[in-house]
Amino acid sequence: MVRAAILGTGCAVPAKVLSNIDLERMVDTTDEWITTRTGITERRIASPGEYTSTFATKAAERALEMAGVSADEIELIIVATVTPDFPFPATACLVQNNIKASRAVAFDISAACSGFLFGLSLAEKMIMTGTIRKAVVIGAEVLSRVVDWSDRNTCCLFGDGSGAVVVGASEDGNGILSTHIHSDGSYWELLHQPGAGNRNPATQKVVDERLMFIQMQGNEVFKLAVRAMEEAANEALEANGVGLADLDLFIPHQANRRIIDAIGKRLGIHPDKIFVNLHKYGNTSAASIPIALDEANRAGHIHPGNLLLLDSFGGGLTWASALIRW
């Protein structure tokens, strides 16, 4: 069977930086609290006129350029996002129009922070089965518009941006060795946006009760994240008969430095093999792994033949992994 491989990576983030010091002037918090409890120093925030599709389009263009693939060749565009430009049409359709990928089928996936790996898994399977030859998978968010900027529990955590990959058939046998995707809806309330869907449609009441903003039980999510991401990593390694010593780079979802450190410790991965860029962007949900992958790639941290493990966790709950021979 054909194996799918990542042919190019790209990312795009807003120019506007919001630092912890800036946040000190907005809510009752300190740079010291945010840094020690989360590892985040600053995050990027979309300006008026910038949308999820703005960053998704730029990230896709950069990934296509690196891959040396033209938009005409793309048969599938997936945007993983919980902050689409509109409830419909899909943000992926807006990206399709922007990049002029007229032959592609385009749709969104909602799996919160695991959305990118869910999309990658779907694209992988469609390439393996010969349904399509080339895809663009994008994680993109403008979370700053669903964050309550008066709630110190959540406003310091999130940021905006997008990362993308071009996926196609592997030419050298390397590529995506496995993807595993999981959900547990019994914990849906731990991390959700109560308003602006059809359970609580956009009304004055929703605005007054601030239901259009993200609500999270951080402590509970923290514990479940560590456990699920550890399990996902072990599942990927076991399924492929490889050990931690074989791993060259671990790219976990960037939500909290303490979560990343706890997983690294439990798995026994040397900190040098864990890629972290959380301090610069905060938690960008579906965009976090593809932004990190692109940064690691462009910074020369990934070489042909390297073994990479991508590992995510998010609202839903959802969690996922991808093991990749680069």
Q: Which residue is nearest to ligand UT7 (CB)?
A: 218
* Interacting residues of 87 by C-beta distance below 8 A, sequence separation 6+: none
Residue of 132, 255, 262, 293 interacting with ligand UT7 (CB under 6 A)? 255
From the list 39, 84, 159, 314, which residue makes contact with ligand UT7 (rule: CB under 6 A)? 314
Active-site position among 20, 256, 283, 297 = 283
Q: Are 290 and 113 contacting, i.e. CB atoms less than 8 angstroms apart?
A: no
Of residues 156 through 185, those in contact with ligand UT7 by CB under 6 A are 156-157
Radius of gyration of the chain (CA): 19
256 near ligand UT7 (CB under 6 A): yes
Least distance (Å) from ligand UT7 to the CB of residue 29?
A: 3
Decide if 283 is catalytic. yes
37 is a contact residue toward ligand UT7 (CB under 6 A): yes
Measured from the CB atom, is 115 or 195 closer to ligand UT7?
Answer: 115
Q: Is the separation of the CB atoms in 277 and 295 below 8 Å?
A: yes
Asked if 306 is part of the footprint of ligand UT7 (rule: CB under 6 A), the reply reads no
Single residue of 113, 126, 147, 323 touching ligand UT7 by CB under 6 A? 113
If one asks whether residue 225 binds ligand UT7 (CB under 6 A), the answer comes out as yes
> Which one is catalytic: 113, 155, 182, 256?
113
- Whole-angstrom distance, CA of residue 139 vs CA of residue 151: 25
Spatial contact of 233 and 321, defined as CB atoms under 8 Å apart: yes
- Please state the closest distance from residue 111 (CB atom) to ligand UT7, in A: 11
Handedness of CA 303, 325, 109, 253 (dihedral sign): negative
The single-letter DSSP state of residue 187 is: G
Q: Is 11 a catalytic residue?
A: no
Residue 270 is among the residues annotated as catalytic for this protein: no
Number of Cβ atoms within 10 Å of the Cβ of 306? 15
Peptide bond into 89 cis (omega under 30): yes
Catalytic residue from among 93, 180, 253, 256? 253
Which of 92, 146, 191, 237 binds ligand UT7 (CB under 6 A)? It is 191
Cβ-Cβ contacts under 8 Å for 313 (sequence gap 6 or more): 113, 114, 224, 225, 228, 229, 232, 253, 255, 319
The verdict on 227 binding ligand UT7 (CB under 6 A) reads no
Q: Determine which residue in the list 77, 167, 221, 296 makes contact with ligand UT7, applying CB under 6 A.
A: 221
**What does the angle CA 324 – CA 309 – CA 275 come to, to the nearest 5 degrees?**
125
Hey, which residues are catalytic here? 113, 253, 283
List interacting residues with ligand UT7 (CB under 6 A). Answer: 29, 33-34, 37-38, 113, 152-153, 156-157, 191, 218-219, 221-222, 225, 255-256, 259, 283, 313-314
